[in-house]
Chain A
Amino acid sequence: MAQFNLPQNSKIEVGKFFKDKTNSANLRKINIYRWDPSNGKNPRVDTFEVDMDNCGPKVLDILIKIKNEIDPSLTFRRSCAHGVCGSCAMNIDGVNNLACIKSHTDINGDLNIYPLPHLKVIKDLIGDLSTLYKQYESIQPWLKGGQTEKEVEEIKQSQKDREKLDGYYECILCACCSTSCPSYWWNGDKYLGPAVLLQAYRWINDSRDNDKKERLKKVADELKLYRCHTIMNCTNSCPKGLNPAKAISSIKKMLATS
């Protein structure tokens, strides 16, 4: 049975308030989830007053500004800063997104930033994604079958077959979709989740892959696949504009018609 409440050690407390020291006229309150693994206390939400006149347009700009100028202990993942690597996925204003492509001017009022939902928190905004990576490994995301070691020729693919991967190969595995899915929250240990299923479909759908039947068989499972109830939080949150709900439905359709 799903546990809807947060466990005792995860209850969020009111944190510190960092008052503005720049005397800026254009201030914004940023509420950020904090958890420090070193002191054994519960997580808290700290509030930062940030001078928006000297801040870039993206949510990531705010986070970097806070880390540089207000509290260097603020911890978050980031790398490319333009929506390619998927490191800075977090819950911004209630919806999962990449901090580096989400514009803070789109959001009214105070800005709330939390880690990706229903993950074990490692520190502050960093969630533990190791289960998701294991599940990703389980679908064997590499080209399989039809090759012998002697063959050194490239495997050709027609333009038409290549187009079938559009909308799927772009996935950067940021985990925004999987951690937005209530089904994945309650059954994350067994249900593969939208991100991994979209990847599974990407390999099932690849004309160069010779393991389609095995792949379908592997994923055809009450828990692994059919826990998707088309809630569509995944598609709503995908920062790359992909459609995991459709990918999952395509797998279901393939299984029903094969």
Chain B
Amino acid sequence: MIEKDQNPLSPHLQIYKWQISSLLSITHRIVGVINILAITLICFWIISLLFGENTYETVKVLLNSFLGKFLIIFLCWTFSFHILNEIRHLAWDLGYGFDLKIAKITGILVFIFSFILTVIFYLIGRNLI
């Protein structure tokens, strides 16, 4: 019998080549966590309205700063990506889109359209369209 404790573990994450599917999968997870935090922050923002106009104005200044704008656009992307990739997951749950080629194409489409949707969200939010 082999002494299992002495035997090394073969390398895994360190050597395995990223696939489009695995990259999107881990991004989906990370973005999901970020979205939960974002929703919590939005709730706090709404609560801050209760403290009157001054607080509202302060938050508005913060959000209009460079960092604030960056955060908003970033969150637009995280939500866009999560929504689009979730549609992919729903199709999988129904049993569609498992073909390797189709999974690759839908993956790339999700990535590209997440940026387009980000722009649309931002413009709608700014009342520009």
Residues on A facing B (Cβ under 8 Å): 4, 6-7, 9-10, 12, 33, 35, 37, 40, 42-43, 91, 93-95, 112, 114-122, 127-128, 180, 182, 185, 229-233, 235-236, 243, 245-246, 249-250, 252-253
Contact = CB atoms under 8 A, between A and B. Distances in A.
B4 interface: yes
B58 interface: no
**Those 8 A-B pairs whose CB atoms lie nearest each other, nearest first:** A94-B17, A10-B8, A232-B21, A246-B98, A117-B12, A118-B12, A120-B7, A115-B10
A119 B8 CA distance: 8
Given A185-B13, A231-B22, A232-B25, 19 more contacts: A6-B8, A6-B14, A37-B6, A115-B10, A116-B10, A117-B15, A119-B9, A127-B10, A128-B7, A182-B12, A182-B13, A230-B89, A233-B19, A235-B100, A236-B19, A243-B99, A249-B93, A250-B95, A253-B95
B67 interface: no
B45 to A, nearest CB: 31
A118 B15 CA distance: 11
Contacts of B8: 6-7, 9-10, 35, 42-43, 120-121
B103 interface: yes
Determine the interface band of chain B, counting residues with CB < 8 A from chain A: 20 to 34
A7 B9 contact: yes
Contacts of A115: 10
